[in-house]
Amino acid sequence: RKEVEQDPGPFNVPEGATVAFNCTYSNSASQSFFWYRQDCRKEPKLLMSVYSSGNEDGRFTAQLNRASQYISLLIRDSKLSDSATYLCVVNRGSGTYKYIFGTGTRLKVLA
Amino acid sequence: EAGVTQSPTHLIKTRGQQATLRCSPISGHTSVYWYQQALGLGLQFLLWYDEGEERNRGNFPPRFSGRQFPNYSSELNVNALELEDSALYLCASSFRTGYNEQFFGPGTRLTVL
C-alpha cells in the first residue's frame, strides 16, 4: 500500500461545478499537509497548506481528518483554468526524508 | 522575491554521457530537493541536501549524485546516461525546519538520445 494515495481520475466536470478530491495517508505521525497544482509539463505549484481547523482560499477549501487519515480539497464554481493535476503532499515529520507526494488527481473542466 | 531557478531549461545528451543540472534556491532556504518526473508519471524523490550535506537519497543508482554549495545552490550530476533517464528534473527548496512547504523551480528537461 502506498503511503499517500489519490484517485488518479480523470475527473471531467462542467464549468461551474463543485468537485472534491480526497487523499489518504497511512502514517499517523504525519505532521503537515499540502495541496499542489501541476499543469502539464510544468512544475508543481503550492496551492494551499492544510491546517487542522481546515482552511479556505477563495473557491478552494482544504480539510484534514486525522482520525480517518485523509485530506480533502474542494473546488467550487470550477473554471476552465482549474484544469490541472492536483498533488497531495504529506510531511511525515520524522525520518530522514519527510515529504511524500501522491501521484496526483487529474481534473478537466469542460466548457 | 526570486523563486527557485534551474538551468539549463533543456538538455540533450547521448547515451553514456554525463549531465549536470543546476539549482538556486529561494533566498533564506537551506534545504534543496531533487526529483525526477518521467513523462506521465509522478514525482520520484532523488536527493535532499541541507546545509551542504546530503541528508537522504531516493531509490536511484549511484550514478545519480550531487552536491550543495556554501551559498545553498545545488548541482545534480547524472553519469553514464541511459535512455530511461529522459525526464523532467525538478528542484525544490524549503526552510530547514522540516514542516514547511517546498517551492519548485521550472525544471530541466533532459533528453537522452
Q: How far is CA B85 from CA B22, B57, B111, in A?
A: 16, 17, 8
Tell if the CB–CB gap between A97 and B45 is shorter than 8 Å: yes
On average, the pLDDT of chain A sits at 92
**Distance from C-alpha of A57 to C-alpha of A51, rounded to nearest angstrom:** 12
- Burial label, B83 (beta-carbon count in 10 A; 0-12, 13-18, 19+): exposed
CB A82 within 8 Å of CB A75: yes
CB A75 within 8 Å of CB A60: yes
In total, the C-beta contacts within 8 angstroms joining chain A to chain B are 46
Q: Each residue of B31-43: pLDDT tens digit?
A: 999 999 998 788 9
Q: Each residue of A22-80: pLDDT tens digit?
A: 999 998 888 889 999 999 989 999 999 998 888 999 999 999 999 999 999 999 999 99
Q: How many CA atoms lie within 13 A of B25 on its CB side?
A: 28
Decide if pLDDT at A96 tops 80.
Answer: no
Among partner residues A43, A93, A102, which is closest to B99 by beta-carbon distance? Answer: A93
A103 CB neighbours in chain B (<8 A) are 41-42
B101 CB neighbours in chain A (<8 A) are 34, 46, 49
Tally Cβ neighbours within 10 Å of residue B70.
Answer: 7
